[in-house]
Amino acid sequence: MNKFNRILLASGLAATASLMVNSPAFADTTGKVNLSGTIPSNLSLTVTATSEASAMIFVPGNNTYDLKIANITGAATNSSSGLKVSVLSSWRLTSTSTTEYIVITGFGESTSTSSSIATANRKRIQDNNLQSNVPFDLAITNTNVAGAAPDSSLYISYNAPNITAGIYSGSITFTATDK
């Protein structure tokens, strides 16, 4: 084999090796699939007003303590951290015919729907600086390991001053969220 043939053979082998290295059969390949999903919140809360809440009796000059206004039942979540329930109110009952109002002086909870008085988280509105329309969290709605909170009752206290006759109304808003 002469020198020219050897050079030609070496060049051919180098070209073949170059084609093999760049061939798709020898290329690096990768693939990636991104996965994601959502577990929706399974949050529930039922607040049922008592008949006393919509038929309050105001006797001018008298204080009323622990008027049961609502029951909370069915508070549950699938969050492993539990749930919280916040309440929001102006803490007053107003009339559309006058600028006078009746102040809610206290708010309390009980760990049962059959209780007749507040036994937990009793707050005097003025002493605890509960501000108008600033939410605060209820104490007894923390869930247990099963994700359900105990049923509870809610109470208010108020003073009925000597004010103009009329219909006075107000509200308390309850919001359940996952912790």
Return the SS3 of 144. Answer: coil
Q: Where residue 173 falls among pLDDT bands split at 50, 70, 90? A: very high
Return the SS3 of 16. Answer: helix
DSSP letter assigned to residue 111: S
Q: Where residue 130 falls among pLDDT bands split at 50, 70, 90? A: low
Average pLDDT of every residue of the chain: 79
The number of beta carbons lying within 10 Å of the beta carbon of residue 155 is: 23
Q: Where residue 61 falls among pLDDT bands split at 50, 70, 90? A: confident
Q: What is the pLDDT of residue 22?
A: 53
The fold for domain 44-178 equals Immunoglobulin-like (2.60.40)
Q: Which two tokens stand for residue 98?
A: 């006058």
Q: What is the pLDDT of residue 132?
A: 72
Mean pLDDT value of segment 42-49: 92
Q: What is the pLDDT of residue 13?
A: 46
